Amino acid sequence: MSEYAFPKATVQHRLGGKAVDLAMYAVTFGIGWTIWSLIIWGQGQTPGKQILKLRVYDKTTGRPAKWGHMAIREFLLPLTLTVAILPFVAVASILFRDTNTQILVIALPYVAGIAVQLVDAFWILKGSERNRLVDKFVKTDVLNEAPKV
């Protein structure tokens, strides 16, 4: 299903929603953002998307994404990267006594994680679909439900 009642969100709206989410996450130390997110994920939104009137839709049904879709979109990639980082931290603390080497070994996966996040975020610039990599994986679209002025 690819026809929706609302237009797809522009790149600017998508990046704006992410910026609002990151700002709210930072201001509330993650707690307020997480609680708000857990409440509204069932509506296919994050706090940033809700403020900007964006909503995630399931491509297969044409309906707003369910809580499970949102959990995968919002936590799958960060959780995967976090789990991938843990062995580097353990190896660095066990094998290397030199603090500079420990810092370097621990920093490498973080740099790789940031690179993956950037590739995912800027994937929306590729092609006309304006989808992140996680959108392709979960089969979702982000639509702009704001009324036209």
Q: What is the mean pLDDT of each run of 10 residues along the chain (149 residues)?
A: 85 90 89 93 96 96 94 80 72 78 76 76 80 88 90
In the chain, what are the domain boundaries? Answer: 11-144
Q: How buried is 53 (Cβ within 10 angstroms: 0-12 exposed, 13-18 middle, 19+ buried)?
A: middle
Read off the pLDDT of residues 31-61 as tens digits, 9 standing for 90 and up.
999 999 999 999 999 999 999 999 999 999 9
Rounded to two decimals, the pTM is: 0.78
8 strand-pairing partners: 143
Query: Which pLDDT score is estimated for 25?
Result: 87
pLDDT of residue 29: 85
pLDDT of residue 2: 63
Residue 9 confidence (pLDDT): 93
- Cα of 116 vs its chain's centroid, Å: 11
